[in-house]
């Protein structure tokens, strides 16, 4: 499976001002924020990305580490981590090198539908598309979830934490119940290790 998610690390002059909860330093900046898509957009956007094109809008998942710990940034600055989808692994026309700015602009404009000041507060953006993730981290296909997060590929359809090799256990996103930073995969492996009389 090939990845469909782009990762952006964004340096900001100030936090985004979201229309649903106005203000540039609210409790919502200390949690996860998602910018949504309609059901129709969800249905068609994966197909658009798989055909090597970009959809009109991206779903984004946002984190503002500096809102919790200002030691990670210079005084008065902020950072935003963005996971966004769906994007192509390979473009029908061009490449990640030639279309990277277009992807950045699309991700930021998708956030900008809900945050009025986003276009004015960005200092710098680092972007990693699926091929970059594959190259830099070594994840097959650049798929951060090690497989699609859809019912046919989740829960008991994921790998077990136990392997056929004695004393070898798995705890990554490819294991039950699925991808995402949820900690359950690691807990499952830890419980299996503790219950294994040979370990």
> d(Cα 144, Cα 127) in Å, to the nearest integer?
14
Tokens of 183: 């900690």
> d(Cα 176, Cα 183) in Å, to the nearest integer?
11
Does residue 104 sit in the same domain as residue 138?
yes
State which residues form the domain around 188.
155-195
Name the nearest CA neighbour of 58 among 2, 131, 7, 122: 7
pLDDT at site 151: 83
101, 120, 144: which is the final residue of a domain? 144
Does residue 91 sit in the same domain as residue 47?
yes
The more confidently predicted of residues 39 and 153 is: 39
> d(Cα 143, Cα 172) in Å, to the nearest integer?
12
> d(Cα 108, Cα 90) in Å, to the nearest integer?
21
pLDDT at site 180: 77
User: 42-89: per-residue pLDDT in tens?
Assistant: 999 999 999 999 999 999 999 999 999 999 999 999 999 999 999 999
Does residue 126 sit in the same domain as residue 106?
yes
Does residue 125 sit in the same domain as residue 168?
no
3-class SS at 15? Answer: coil
Does residue 139 sit in the same domain as residue 166?
no
Does residue 45 sit in the same domain as residue 83?
yes
Half-sphere exposure of 113 (CA within 13 A, CB side): 14
User: Does residue 150 lie within any of the structural domains?
Assistant: no
User: Does residue 31 lie within any of the structural domains?
Assistant: yes
Residue 129 CA to its chain's centroid (Å): 10
Q: Which residue has the tokens 């026309």?
A: 93
Bridge partner residues of 175 (DSSP): 159
Q: How many domains does the chain have?
A: 2
User: 143-160: per-residue pLDDT in tens?
Assistant: 988 888 778 888 889 999
Does residue 129 sit in the same domain as residue 46?
yes
Name the nearest CA neighbour of 96 among 144, 134, 62, 124: 134
For residue 143, count other CB atoms closer than 10 A to its CB.
22
Q: Is the separation of the CB atoms in 4 and 144 below 8 Å? A: no
pLDDT at site 199: 58
Q: Is the separation of the CB atoms in 32 and 62 below 8 Å? A: yes
Average pLDDT over residues 35-45: 94
3-class SS at 178? Answer: coil
Does residue 188 sit in the same domain as residue 131?
no
User: 103-139: per-residue pLDDT in tens?
Assistant: 999 999 999 999 999 999 999 999 999 999 999 999 8
Quick one: pLDDT band at residue 182, thresholds 50, 70, 90? confident
The pTM is what? 0.88
Does residue 32 sit in the same domain as residue 80?
yes
């Amino acid at each position: 499976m090939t990845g469909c998610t782009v990762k952006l690390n964004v340096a900001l002059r100030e936090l985004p001002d979201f229309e649903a909860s106005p203000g540039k330093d609210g409790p919502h900046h200390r949690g996860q924020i998602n910018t949504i898509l309609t059901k129709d957009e969800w249905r068609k956007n994966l197909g658009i990305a798989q055909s090597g094109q970009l959809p009109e809008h991206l779903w984004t998942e946002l984190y503002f580490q500096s809102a919790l710990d200002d030691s990670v940034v210079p005084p008065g600055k902020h950072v935003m981590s963005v996971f966004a989808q769906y994007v192509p692994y390979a473009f029908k026309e061009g490449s990640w090198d030639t279309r990277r700015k277009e992807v950045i602009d699309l991700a930021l404009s998708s956030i900008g539908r809900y945050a009025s000041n986003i276009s004015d507060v960005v200092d710098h953006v680092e972007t990693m598309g699926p091929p970059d993730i594959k190259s830099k981290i070594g994840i097959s296909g650049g798929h951060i979830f090690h497989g699609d997060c859809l019912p046919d590929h989740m829960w008991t359809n994921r790998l077990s934490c136990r392997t056929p090799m004695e004393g070898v256990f798995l705890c990554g996103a490819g294991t039950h119940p699925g991808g995402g930073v949820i900690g359950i995969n690691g807990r499952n492996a830890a419980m299996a290790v503790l219950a294994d009389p040979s370990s």
